[in-house]
């Protein structure tokens, strides 16, 4: 293993999340010593707006850390020990399309779930593979990519198929955000919780929530039956997910558990289990992408402009579980801490009745050679079936991307639980091909009449 201090590159440097992640790194410098932070983005202009904010965050904590901002992959990754990836291919403008196109057809419009997530997958798999290749070419041989890029389930499967030996660990902050809320409800720091969980990314269930060896899920069930997975002061517990749409999402844990009280669902299951309700209450002309562009993004850009003018940086970004979690995972990888975290990992029997090679989300011990998944056993038929259908949809989408197959893309869309009929699937897919002309690989129809 390499020795600290580390060189860390952030791919997707222009993200609204970058300042929060860097702030999390700064408060953990004693645990995760850094020699250099590099920001890398293909959109140099956007990155140059965020970079001074990031530099200020660094300088408030350290004068010695070198800070580099680049659009050149060789500069970004040469000799790097860690790469935090958080790319958003097509940026929020394309997220808006992912959300609005399905809604025009009366189907859930969401960043990572349903047709929106599939479309985002078709945009992201190949750029993510390109990033793996840059890292392999330029970075330290033992470098780890810790990946937040969405749609994480599809990205993980795409990378597994195309670059099976890449040192990538795919993660998501949703389970840990749920654990933070559980901790707040139970009056216990989230680090004290040891959970069992099974599923795919944005599609899973907590089955046990241990505190000092005692399962506190019964107590959480009683709270959720009244309030969902929400504390009284939601904004304080979770500044990152405190917009009204997120508050509603946490509340939706209640109707799901009213019907199926056994396990505690990932909030994203609302899109698959109550899609009609979601569509009915969604303004098709103003979706979450608009909320984010008018909220988080605008606020950060305005703060960057103010900082440039006055030299004073207003409070404009959140430092929460999102940043803390990726630093925790990186520490465990760097120092072989074998900490137990919920991550996305090749199944290898962890969920006994899902395919051996499926990319699942389960607890794993994070070693310097990667995650060792913890056995969750066999899951009930209901959950297994939901998971298999979602897995098939996502795997077909990956195959569609690799093979350039229209049929497989249409099968992926048709199999997704949010899509009621094959006609809906085709209409949405065809609109999305149009909207994604600059991003998707060509999809060919092998069985077209006359060919």
Active site residues: 173, 268
Nearer to ligand G6P, 201 or 411 (CB): 201
Query: Using CB under 6 A as the criterion, what x/- string covers residues 387-416 for binding ligand G6P?
Result: ------------------------------
Q: Two tokens at 263?
A: 């396990």
Question: Contact between 119 and Mn ion (CB under 5 A)?
Answer: no
User: To the nearest whole angstrom, how small is the minimum distance from the Cβ of residue 241 to ligand G6P?
Assistant: 7
Q: What distance in Å separates the CA atoms of residue 119 and residue 44, rounded to the nearest whole number?
A: 25
Q: What distance in Å separates the CA atoms of residue 67 and residue 75, rounded to the nearest whole number?
A: 12
Contact with ligand G6P (CB under 6 A) among 100, 160, 288, 417: 288
- Cβ within 8 Å of residue 403, ≥6 positions away: none
Q: Which does 292 bind (CB under 5 to 8 A by kind): ligand G6P, Mn ion, none?
A: ligand G6P
Site for ligand G6P in 146-185 (CB under 6 A): 150, 172-174
Q: What distance in Å separates the CA atoms of residue 197 and residue 362, rounded to the nearest whole number?
A: 6
User: To the nearest whole angstrom, how small is the minimum distance from the Cβ of residue 47 to Mn ion?
Assistant: 22
Contact with Mn ion (CB under 5 A) among 85, 129, 172, 396: 172
- The residue whose Cβ lies closest to ligand G6P is 174
User: What are the start-end ranges of the H helices in 404-421?
Assistant: 406-415
Nearer to ligand G6P, 111 or 328 (CB): 111
Q: Which does 288 bind (CB under 5 to 8 A by kind): Mn ion, ligand G6P, none?
A: ligand G6P
Q: What distance in Å separates the CA atoms of residue 361 and residue 333, rounded to the nearest whole number?
A: 18
Question: Contact between 292 and ligand G6P (CB under 6 A)?
Answer: yes
User: To the nearest whole angstrom, how small is the minimum distance from the Cβ of residue 153 to ligand G6P?
Assistant: 10
User: To the nearest whole angstrom, how small is the minimum distance from the Cβ of residue 27 to ligand G6P?
Assistant: 20
DSSP state of 374: P
Question: Contact between 292 and Mn ion (CB under 5 A)?
Answer: no
Q: What distance in Å separates the CA atoms of residue 97 and residue 246, rounded to the nearest whole number?
A: 20
How many CB atoms lie under 10 A from the CB of residue 61? 14
Strands 144-147 and 168-170 turn out to be parallel
Stretch that binds Mn ion, among 55-63, 170-178, 316-324, 396-404 (CB under 5 A): 170-178
Nearer to Mn ion, 291 or 403 (CB): 291
Q: What angle do CA 60, 62, 66 make, to 5 degrees?
A: 120
Nearer to ligand G6P, 153 or 217 (CB): 153
Query: Using CB under 6 A as the criterion, what x/- string covers residues 83-112 for binding ligand G6P?
Result: ----------------------------xx
Question: Contact between 53 and Mn ion (CB under 5 A)?
Answer: no
* DSSP output for 33-81: -EEEEEEE-S-HHHHHHHHHHHHHHHHTT-SSSEEEEES-HHHHHTT-S
- Cβ within 8 Å of residue 288, ≥6 positions away: 95, 99, 110, 111, 245
List beta partners, residue 185: none
Site for Mn ion in 174-233 (CB under 5 A): 174
- Give the footprint of ligand G6P on this chain (CB under 6 A): 111-112, 150, 172-174, 288, 292
- Give the footprint of Mn ion on this chain (CB under 5 A): 172, 174
């Amino acid at each position: 293993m390499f020795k600290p201090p580390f060189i860390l590159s952030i791919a997707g440097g222009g993200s609204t999340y970058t300042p929060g992640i860097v702030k999390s790194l700064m408060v953990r410098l004693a645990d995760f010593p850094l020699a250099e932070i590099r920001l890398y983005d293909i959109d140099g202009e956007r990155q140059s707006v965020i970079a001074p904010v990031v530099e200020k965050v660094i300088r408030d904590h350290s004068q010695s850390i070198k800070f580099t901002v680049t659009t050149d992959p060789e500069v970004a990754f040469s000799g790097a020990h860690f790469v935090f990836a958080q790319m958003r291919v097509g940026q929020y403008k394309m997220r808006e399309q992912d959300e609005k196109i399905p809604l025009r057809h009366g189907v859930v419009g969401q960043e990572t779930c349903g047709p929106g997530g599939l479309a985002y997958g078709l945009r992201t798999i190949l750029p993510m593979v390109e990033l793996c290749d840059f890292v392999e070419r330029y970075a330290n041989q033992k470098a780890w990519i810790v990946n937040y890029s969405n749609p994480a389930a599809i990205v993980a499967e795409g990378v597994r198929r195309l670059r099976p030996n890449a040192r990538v660990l795919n993660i998501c902050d949703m389970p840990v955000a749920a654990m933070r809320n559980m901790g707040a409800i139970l009056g216990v720091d989230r680090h004290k919780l040891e959970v069992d969980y099974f599923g795919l990314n944005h599609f899973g269930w907590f089955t046990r929530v241990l505190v000092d060896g005692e399962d506190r899920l019964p107590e959480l069930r009683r709270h959720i039956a009244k309030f969902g997975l929400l504390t009284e002061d939601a904004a304080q517990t979770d500044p990152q997910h405190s917009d009204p749409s997120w508050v509603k999402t946490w509340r939706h844990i209640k109707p799901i558990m009213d019907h199926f009280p056994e396990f505690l669902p990932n909030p994203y299951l609302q899109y698959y289990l109550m899609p009609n309700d979601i569509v009915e209450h969604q303004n098709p002309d103003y979706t979450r992408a608009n909320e984010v562009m008018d909220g988080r993004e605008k606020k950060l850009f305005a703060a960057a402009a103010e900082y440039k003018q006055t030299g004073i940086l207003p409070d404009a970004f959140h430092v929460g579980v999102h940043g803390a979690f990726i630093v925790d995972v990186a520490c465990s990888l760097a120092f072989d801490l074998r900490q137990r975290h919920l991550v996305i990992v090749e199944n290898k029997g962890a969920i006994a009745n899902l395919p051996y090679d499926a990319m699942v989300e389960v607890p794993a011990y994070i070693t310097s050679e990667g995650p060792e998944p913890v056995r969750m056993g066999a899951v009930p038929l209901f959950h297994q079936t939901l998971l298999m259908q979602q897995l098939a949809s996502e795997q077909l989408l990956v195959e569609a991307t690799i093979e350039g197959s229209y049929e497989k893309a249409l099968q992926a869309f048709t199999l997704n639980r949010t899509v009621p009929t094959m006609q809906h699937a085709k209409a949405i897919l065809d609109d999305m091909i149009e909207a994604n002309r600059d991003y998707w690989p060509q999809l060919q129809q092998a069985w077209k009449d006359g060919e």
